[in-house]
Structure 1
């Protein structure tokens, strides 16, 4: 049986916890109330306390996406299986996991840097 741990999953995990690390370092310097929702003019129109569960959720969205993609990897592996066994096709599930996790991690980090 092949090991499920590969470099793409390790990188995805690191990217998914990065918003939490940034949040913990920024927490003492953050204002008491942070903007949680922005309108089209990029003006905050909803504020919550900096220790609110909503702030934790925005940090954790990358970790949630990583877990979901990790659970989908067996299905994706079956979908991308090729007869010739090319290396690229075998790497695609891990690359998709990395891409999705990176996108949500960047969203969380942008939120924190705007706070």
Structure 2
């Protein structure tokens, strides 16, 4: 079963691409070494070069979560089927995708802004 192209999926994709866009704009102004891990006291304890693949991975968590949620949408659609076929129940898989993508995108953006 193929997931249909709808507004929430398109919006989720755009939100998942946002950390990459911000990274590209900030790249020239970022310091050479950026903090990639913080301890419980909010003190940076691991630094990498700004072009390190780990930075791309942190930016890509939102896109990875979008892909995972997109592949799970058919399962969620079957779980939320109602006899009445209400519009709210049918839109829940797309809203879940949007919510999860938004959370991971915010995490990636906060990481970039703190760098």
Q: TM-score, normalised by structure 2?
A: 0.97
Alignment of 1:67-82 (within 5 A): 67-82=67-82
Q: CA deviation at 1:22?
A: 0.1
In structure 2, the residue matched to 1:84 is 84
The runs of 5 or more residues in structure 2 that have no matched partner are: none
Deviations 1:85-104 (A, max 9, x none): 00000000000000000000
Name the residue aligned to 2:93. 93
Match of 1:38 in 2: 38
Q: Distance in 1 between matches of 2:2 and 2:93?
A: 14
The 3-state SS of whatever aligns with 2:97 is helix
Question: Counterpart of 2:47?
Answer: 47
Query: Partners of 1:69 and 1:36 in 2: how far apart?
Result: 26
1:41: how far off? 1.2
Cα distance in 2, alignment partners of residues 50 and 109 from structure 1: 15
Structure 1 residue runs of 4 or more that deviate by more than 4 Å after TM superposition: none
Aligned to 1:114: 114
Q: Equivalent residue of 1:37, what SS?
A: strand
How far did residue 78 of structure 1 move?
A: 0.2
Cα deviation, residue 40, structure 1: 1.1
Alpha-carbon separation, structure 1, partners of 2:72 and 2:45: 36
In 1, Cα distance between equivalents of 2:2 and 2:49: 45
After superposition, the CA RMSD in angstroms is 1.3
